[in-house]
Amino acid sequence: MDEQVTLMIYRGDNVQGEMKEYKIPVAPGMVVLDAVHAVQATQAPDLAVRWNCKAGKCGSCGAEVNGRPRLLCMDRMDKYPAGEPIAVKPLKTFPVIKDLATNVSWNYDVNKKIPAFKMRDTKGEEPRFSQEEADRVQEFRKCIECFLCQNVCHVLREHDEKNTFGGPRFFVRTAGLEMHPLDDENRLDLLKDQMGLGYCNITKCCTEVCPESIAITDNAIIPLKERLVDQYYDPLRKLYRILFPAKKT
Amino acid sequence: MGKYQTFQYDVVVVGAGGAGLRAAIEASAQGAKTALVCKSLLGKAHTVMAEGGVAAALSNVDSRDDWKVHFRDTMKGGKFLNQWRMAQIHAQEAPSRVRELEEWGAVFDRTKDGRILQRNFGGHTYPRLAHVGDRTGLEIIRTLQDKGVHQGIDVHMECTIRKILKDGDRVAGCFGYQRESGRFVVFQSKAVVLATGGIGRCWEITSNSWEYTADGHAMAMWAGADLIDMEFIQFHPTGMVWPPSVKGTLITEGVRGEGGVLLNKDRKRFMFDNVPEMFRGEFAETEEEANRWVAAVVANKLPDARRPPELLTRDVVARAIRREVREGRGSPHGGVFLDIASRRSPSEIKKKLPSMYHQFKELADVDITKDPMEVGPTCHYMMGGVRVNPETQESTVPGLFAAGEVGGGMHGSNRLGGNSLSDLLVFGKRAGEFAAKCALQTSSFGSCDDDQIEVAARECLEPFDESHGENPYAVHEQLRTLMQHYVGIVRSQDDLKHALVEIEQLRQRAAKVKVGGNIQFNPGWHLAMDLSNMLDISEAVTKAALERTESRGGHTREDFPDSESEWGKMNLIVRQEGRDINVSRRPLEPMPAELQQLFNK
Ligand SMILES: Cc1cc2nc3c(=O)[nH]c(=O)nc-3n(C[C@H](O)[C@H](O)[C@H](O)COP(=O)(O)OP(=O)(O)OC[C@H]3O[C@@H](n4cnc5c(N)ncnc54)[C@H](O)[C@@H]3O)c2cc1C
Ligand code: SF4
Ligand code: SF4
Ligand code: FES
């Protein structure tokens, strides 16, 4: 167990910072978060990093390891080539608060814009739906809000369209509500006008990084895009919409 | 007071897990101006990690279930030390709280006829846990979070509360710091609801996150409130034991609920030899009978057999595992085997226990659809907490409320799986409701005098004193090792006395910890402050454990191995008087005859 590993960790804030080198002993089964904690406990007590569950369930510990977005608590050290330093940086798309902690408050603001679940009238009956119907939305409801998808989406990462674009996480969330068997709200205007669904050009980068393996593009974004087309560009539907404006498609 | 950023609210809820969110939703629905304060980002509280399910007698799967059976199971699980009125309210109101979540958008797994599905769990007579695969907590916290953000609650994320402020006897607000900036903040309020969760970070092997540093327990005690049942700690029988990185990480009891069996190194199902007197006759006596029960459950039929002994209450299973290991029948890494692979098909396992499958595959290189898991006890849940009025959740300090894991009394000496999520919802709602009523009846804010605030602020900044030299992480590690070995699953008078001496020494070292860097997002500093909570509550636990000279639920004494009927009528109360942490006895409230008769069958 005398084997050492070298970590390069970003130390600093949004204005200035540098990659600092730390060496720590490795243990079997170690994940990158363990290594960062070892640095914290023995060499850099003020090193900022977020975590909670240490089991891939809370989505707190997202960062970029050797340039790839990862949950630090699920990222095994033995997957990286032995003897080479491992570089850990904060998510690029969000402003750094300190070290590995970024300011993700923008995501919470977007979430607030999405109209809440509205239960349809079940006429006093106990609501019923099948497991198959549940499965469809449970996929979206698995999201742990790690924001790794937000971090890689080029609309946010390269173009910083945070005022006009909601990002894959919130397409997933909206899909979970729109396809909910008991929901009676319509969020298509929101998707078109405020969440910029049209800006997504289906590169699938978001799906690739999702630690919950949610098929973000195929199961959430594309069906939502189809609904938008149906609602806004299908002439019959358009007429229907003018006649019955509040109804859900 | 003008020195620090100051807010005014009718109600401040400290903690944004299930209990805090549910309390804030209710307080705000009652018309109280409400703040929700939490240490992490919203949605990351412990509740998000809950796996197996939420217990409520919906009787969707087995029509024989009702609140009375749930009440009886809860009291038996707690070995009758529970505050019976809390257990009653809990059993009666849990179904409405779960249905309400569905109305707010939660999507639980379904029965064949499209209703909320329920699964079996230890200590519950009938399948009772509404669930979503093995990520029930995520579903609940997200549902509450999305309900809450549309209700005009102000959320203060990454803000740690350090002290309850008082005006004379009653609550006047609370004091804390913003984690990001390190700046101090004062909340002036007419009522405070503590919903801060548990204390697991005092032990070495735990399923709990960095947040569980006993903040709420300590703040309540410092404010003069009574704590109850502090000797009772739940060691969950099935934590991961290998590799070291994941030691303590939880494996849901749902694995056993779905038919998983516990084996020692000789592949023997040792739980058959570990059925305590109290439960004799209620569990399968042969493997054949246990298998019949599983087969019926899998086929969605009402079982005509009794349940497998693996589903005994957690205290019983944890002690049995510890014994197997001690007596040399353990697995290679000091646990026992939990096997689901030979019981259910790979596709069923992946469907019902997806995150367990993932967790083992990624972190332990074990495919649980093929091989058994290695498991051992892990410090999981704090039964003890703030003593509250069962109806209102108000503590013995006027204006101070508590709900969720930080509250005490509901679970007695041992909590049943699934009874925490329901506890959060039932008593979270009540705490919010009565805190709002209390606040709205109070005409003016209490005064938070500068002296109290200055003392608190000065204490917080001590670790920056240049003359100090201890490493806070090292002191914390020592405390955890101490509690693990001397105040663990099995205790003795000598060990507990030793622990008290060591805690005192650690306290002196904690007073000398030093942190580098500045006040901005500085985890070393945060931990340095938390040492005082953990040390005081470790002392409270140890003293209560020393006082209770019997074994019961989550408190086992090597030197007093039996349960004593006299102790069965007594709760222990912990209270701070001056600088001293004192323990006293409090007789249980007698149970009314109509509830008593439920146990005479
Ligand atoms: C892995 C795991 C699985 C579990 N599975 C189940 C299950 O299947 N069924 C079940 O019933 N129970 C389960 N439990 C237990 C249950 O999840 C917890 O007891 C419950 O979630 C506690 O909820 P809470 O609202 O009391 O606290 P938490 O959800 O822990 O929330 C505590 C909140 O308080 C905040 N806080 C703490 N201190 C401060 C402070 N000083 N200042 C400001 N904020 C503070 C935290 O930031 C957090 O927001 C499980 C527990 C674990 C660890
Ligand atoms: S598929 Fe769309 S949302 Fe996903 S990363 Fe690409 S552009 Fe962004
Ligand atoms: S959709 Fe996936 S990647 Fe995006 S926030 Fe949710 S869990 Fe993370
Ligand atoms: S710590 Fe929870 S996902 Fe990594």
SS3 of A146-197: CCHHHHHCHHHHCCCCCCCCCCHHHHHHHHHHHCCCCECCCCHHHHHHCCCH
B282: its two tokens: 């209620």
Collect all residues of chain B within an 8 Å Cβ-Cβ radius of residue A59.
43-44
Q: Which tens digit of pLDDT belongs to each residue from B297-310?
A: 888 888 889 999 99
The position carrying tokens 């699938």 is A204
CA atoms within 13 A on the CB side of B571: 28
Both B319 and B189 in a single domain? no
Strand-pair category, B490-491 with B556-557: parallel
- The pLDDT assigned to A90 comes to 98
| Residue B364 banded pLDDT, cuts 50, 70, 90 | very high
Integer angstrom CA distances of residue B487 from B325, B474, B497: 19, 19, 10
Residues B78 and B94 occupy one common structural domain: yes
Q: Are residues B526 and B457 in the same domain?
A: yes
- Residue at B368 is within a domain: yes
- Across chain B, mean pLDDT equals 95
How many Å apart are CA A170 and CA B472, to the nearest integer?
Answer: 40
pLDDT per residue over A186-244, tens digit each?
A: 999 999 999 999 999 999 999 999 999 999 999 999 999 999 988 877 666 666 666 66
Whether the per-residue pLDDT at A2 is higher than 80: the answer is: no
Q: List Cβ neighbours of B171 (8 Å cut-off, separation of 6 or more).
A: B164, B165, B189, B190, B191, B192, B223, B397, B398, B399, B400, B446
Nearest CA in chain A to B521: A48
Indicate if ligand 4 lies below 6 Å from the C-beta of A57.
Answer: yes
Are residues B68 and B208 part of one domain? yes
Cβ pair B138:A117 closer than 8 A: no
B36, B38, B44, B333: best mutation site toward chain A, by most A Cβ within 10 Å? B44
Determine the Cα angle at B256 with ends B255 and B261, to 5°. Answer: 110
Q: What ipTM describes this predicted complex? A: 0.93
Handedness of CA A99, A105, A110, A116 (dihedral sign): positive
**Residues B269 and B349 grouped into a single domain:** yes
* Spatial separation of the C-alpha atoms in residues A110 and B149, rounded to whole Å: 11
**Cα separations (Å) of A43 from A52, B221, B303, B353, B524?**
21, 34, 58, 39, 11
Q: Kindly state whether residues B315 and B433 are assigned to the same domain.
A: no
Instruction: State the CB neighbour count (10 A cutoff) for residue A7.
Output: 21
Two tokens, residue B244: 């070291």
Residue nearest atom 3 in ligand 2 by C-alpha distance: A168
**Among B401, B421, B440, residue at a domain's last position:** B440
Tell me, yes or no, whether B262 and B374 share the same domain: yes
**Class of domain A4-102 as given by CATH:** alpha beta
CA B307 to chain centroid: 26
DSSP letter string over B296-318? HHHTT---SSPBPGGGS-HHHHH
Interval between CA B236 and ligand 1 midpoint (Å): 15
Q: What is the whole-number distance in angstroms between the Cα of residue A165 and the centre of ligand 2?
A: 11
The enclosing H or E element of B440 equals helix B419-441
Cβ of A157 less than 6 Å from ligand 2: no
Co-location of B192 and B273 in the same domain: no
Question: Which of the four CATH numbers 3.40.50.200, 1.10.1060.10, 3.40.50.11540, 3.30.70.20 does domain A105-243 have?
Answer: 1.10.1060.10
Residues of A in contact with B197 (CB under 8 A): none
| Cβ density class A174-200: b for 16+ within 10 Å, e for less | bbbbbbbbbbebbbbebbbebbbbebb
Residues B92 and B214 occupy one common structural domain: yes
User: Is residue B44 assigned to a domain?
Assistant: yes
Does B597 map to a domain? no
Question: How far is the centre of ligand 2, averaged over its atoms, from the C-alpha of A202 (Å)?
Answer: 5
For B441, phi then psi, to 5°, come to -85, -10
Least CA distance to B181: which residue of chain A? A97
- The answer to whether B140 touches B54, Cβ cutoff 8 Å, is yes
Residues 6 or more apart whose Cβ sits within 8 Å of residue B457: B4, B175, B184
Whether the per-residue pLDDT at B60 is higher than 90: the answer is yes
In a domain? residue B281: yes
- Residue B421's SS3 state is helix
Q: In the structure encoding, which two tokens stand for residue A71, read together?
A: 């949950």
Task: Enumerate residues 8 to 47 of chain A having a beta carbon within 8 A of any beta carbon in chain B.
Answer: 13, 27-31, 34, 40-42, 44-47
Which residue is closest to A98 within chain B, CA to CA?
A: B521
Quick check: B60 and B115 in contact, CB under 8 A? Answer: yes
- Report CB contact under 8 Å: B516, A46: yes
- Mark which of B391, B420, B440 sits at the end of a domain: B440
Closest-CA residue, ligand 2 atom 4, reads A206
pLDDT score, position A248: 44
Nearest residue (by CA) to ligand 3, atom 3, is A210
Q: What is the pLDDT of residue B299?
A: 85
Contact A187, A172 (CB under 8 A): no
- How many Å lie between the alpha carbon of B204 and the closest alpha carbon of chain A? 15
Tokens of A221: 């974004």
Q: What is the CATH number of the domain that holds B69?
A: 3.50.50.60
For residues B385 and B396, what is the distance between their CA atoms, to the nearest angstrom?
12
Strand partners, B174: B164, B187
Rounded distance, CA B66 to CA B165, Å?
42
Contacts of A161 (CB under 8 A, 6+ apart): A155, A196, A199
- What are the tokens at B438? 């209390």
Answer whether A48 sits within 8 Å of B525, measured CB to CB: no
Domain boundaries defined on chain A: 4-102, 105-243
What CA–CA distance (Å, rounded) separates B259 from B278? 23
Residue B580 placed within a domain:
no
Other residues' Cβ atoms within 10 Å of the Cβ of residue B437: 17
- Chain B residues with CB under 8 Å of A29 CB are 242-246, 363-365
Name the closest residue on chain A to residue B50, using Cα atoms. A57
Distance in Å, alpha carbon of B300 to nearest chain A alpha carbon: 15
For residue B319, the enclosing domain spans: 239-378
Does the beta carbon of A59 sit less than 6 angstroms from any atom of ligand 4? yes
Using the mean position of ligand 1's atoms as its centre, give its distance from the Cα of residue B197 in Å.
Answer: 5
Counting Cβ atoms within 10 Å, is residue A215 exposed (0-12), middle (13-18) or buried (19+)?
A: middle
Taking the C-alpha atoms of residue B186 and residue B207, their distance in angstroms, rounded to an integer, is 32
pLDDT tens, B535-590? 999 999 999 999 999 999 999 999 999 999 999 999 999 999 999 999 999 999 99
Domain count, chain B: 3
Alpha-carbon span A9 to A96, nearest angstrom: 13
**Confidence bin at A1 (pLDDT 50/70/90):** very low
Ligand 1 centroid to residue A117 C-alpha, Å: 25
Token pair 């860097």: residue: B517
Residues 111-130 of A with CB under 8 A from B: 111-112, 116-117, 119, 126-130
Which of B378, B393, B409 is at the close of a domain? B378
Are residues B330 and B430 both part of a single domain? Answer: no
Mutate to test the interface with B, among A31, A36, A114, A141 (most CBs of B within 10 A): A141
Q: Do A27 and B244 touch (CB under 8 A)?
A: yes
Q: Indicate which CATH number applies to the domain containing B458.
A: 1.20.58.100
Ligand 2 mean position, distance from CA A52 (Å): 28
The C-alpha atoms of residue B438 and residue B398 are separated, in whole angstroms, by 9
CA angle A187, A193, A194 (to 5 degrees): 80
Determine how many CB atoms are found less than 10 A away from the CB of residue B577.
9
- Assigned domain for B5 exists: no
Does some domain include residue B337? yes
Closest atom, ligand 1, to C-alpha of B418: 11
Residue B333, judged by CB atoms within 10 A of its CB (0-12, 13-18, 19+), counts as middle
Distance in angstroms (rounded) separating the CA atoms of residues B198 and A135: 33
Q: What is the DSSP string of A199-242?
A: G-----HHHHH-TT---IIIIIIHHHHHHHHHHHH-HHHHHHHH
Same domain, B468 and B400: no
pLDDT for the residue numbered B422: 98
Residues 202-231 of A with CB under 8 A from B: none
Shared domain for B53 and B20, answered yes or no, is yes
Q: What is the CATH number of the domain that holds B325?
A: 3.90.700.10
Q: Which residues of B are catalytic?
A: 236, 256
Q: Is A136 in the pocket of ligand 2 (CB under 6 A)?
A: no
pLDDT, tens digit, for every residue of B437-476? Answer: 999 999 999 998 889 999 999 999 999 988 888 999 999 9
Q: Which of B297, B300, B320 is nearest to B309 (CA)?
A: B320
Tell me, letter by letter, the H, E, C secondary structure of B183-243.
CEEEEEEEEEEECCCCCHHHCCCECCCCCCCCHHHHHHHHCCCCEECCCCEEEEEEEECCC
- The secondary structure of residue B341, as a DSSP letter, is T
State the pLDDT at residue A247.
43
Residues B553 and B413: their CA atoms lie apart, in Å, by 5
Nearest-CB residue to B243 (from A29, A40, A133): A29
pTM over 0.90: yes
> How far is residue B260's CA from residue B561's CA, in Å, rounded to a whole number?
29
Q: What's B122-153 look like in SS3?
A: CCCCCCCEECCCCCHHHHHHHHHHHHHHCCCC
